[in-house]
Amino acid sequence: MAISKQVKDVTAACSGVESGMTLMLGGFGLCGIPECSIAELVRLGIQDVTCISNNAGVDDFGLGLLLQQRQIRKMISSYVGENDEFERQMLSGELEVDLIPQGSLAERCRAGGAGIPAFYTPAGYGTEVAAGKEVRDFNGKPHILESALTADFAFVKAWKGDASGNLIFKATARNFNPMMAMAGKITVAEVEELVPEGELDPNSVHTPGIFVQRIFQGSGYEKRIEQRTVQSR
């Protein structure tokens, strides 16, 4: 018999989140970010958290809301160029920042979920990214040792899910959400549509429910577009 992971709402889903924890937050830019969970983290007022996310949101949306309230102590990210408050806090020394090549960030999260403690990659060799890291040659090419990433809580956002926690992501939202869902000690999934168990085609499931501990149906998604380009007439 399937085990239901469904919780009543975002408040129940975020139960147990505390200051000082390490949190993973899925999404790519502003696409596929766990908007409801982020809003709840702001409401909870937790402090000194380490956030692992591909980006840092924008000034008034996404992780930018946590940055506004000075709730983040450290950001582990790849792309942070759209957030003026992030820049101000980093340059002033208020925010600790670990910038990682995007592919390395994705693989470090995937490795964490797969139980692989570290791996070698050529990305970042000869740059500040390699500072203090072990280097080995493979096929005549230098590679640096990167450690896996895990989190106390991982927050992901899916298009569809069922009460067992099986998830389907849509389009660009599939970039970071699936591997982060694997790497959280407790993974919270918010979905646009929560369907009964057995309704999802198993061949279409991107993240099996075994990786998800809590799931709820979100609402009020803004789905803001980070950069809008329109054709001039």
The confidence score (pLDDT) of residue 181 equals: 98
- Decide if pLDDT at 80 tops 90: no
pTM of the model: 0.93
Domain enclosing residue 156, as ranges:
19-99+150-217
Q: With respect to residue 111, please indicate whether it lies within any of the assigned structural domains.
A: no
Select from 230, 213, 44 the least CA-distant residue to 36: 44
- Decide if pLDDT at 166 tops 70: yes
User: In CATH, what number is assigned to the domain containing residue 203?
Assistant: 3.40.1080.10
The confidence score (pLDDT) of residue 83 equals: 87
Residue that wins the pLDDT comparison between 61 and 223? 61
Give the whole-angstrom CA distance, residue 161 versus residue 136: 42
Give the pLDDT mean for 109-132.
Answer: 96
In the chain, what's the furthest Cα-to-Cα distance?
A: 58
Decide if 6 contacts 161 (C-beta within 8 A): no
Decide if 38 contacts 65 (C-beta within 8 A): yes
Q: With respect to residue 104, please indicate whether it lies within any of the assigned structural domains.
A: no
Q: What digits encode the pLDDT tens for the residues 148-161?
A: 999 999 999 999 99
Report which residue type is found at 168.
Answer: I
* Per-chain mean pLDDT for the chain: 94
Q: With respect to residue 107, please indicate whether it lies within any of the assigned structural domains.
A: no
Q: With respect to residue 48, please indicate whether it lies within any of the assigned structural domains.
A: yes
Q: What digits encode the pLDDT tens for the residues 186-221?
A: 999 999 999 999 999 999 999 999 999 999 999 989
The confidence score (pLDDT) of residue 109 equals: 98
The confidence score (pLDDT) of residue 232 equals: 78
Give the position of tokens 């980070």: 226
Give the position of tokens 């429910």: 209
Decide if 95 contacts 86 (C-beta within 8 A): yes
What's the total number of domains in the chain?
1
The confidence score (pLDDT) of residue 122 equals: 97
Give the pLDDT mean for 170-174.
Answer: 93
Provide the pLDDT confidence category of residue 1 given band limits of 50, 70 and 90: low
DSSP string of 49-62? Answer: EEEE-SB--BTTBT
Give the position of tokens 């129940």: 12
Q: What digits encode the pLDDT tens for the residues 24-78?
A: 999 998 999 999 999 999 999 999 999 999 999 998 899 999 999 999 999 999 9
The confidence score (pLDDT) of residue 220 equals: 87
Residues of the chain with pLDDT > 70, as a percent, come to 100
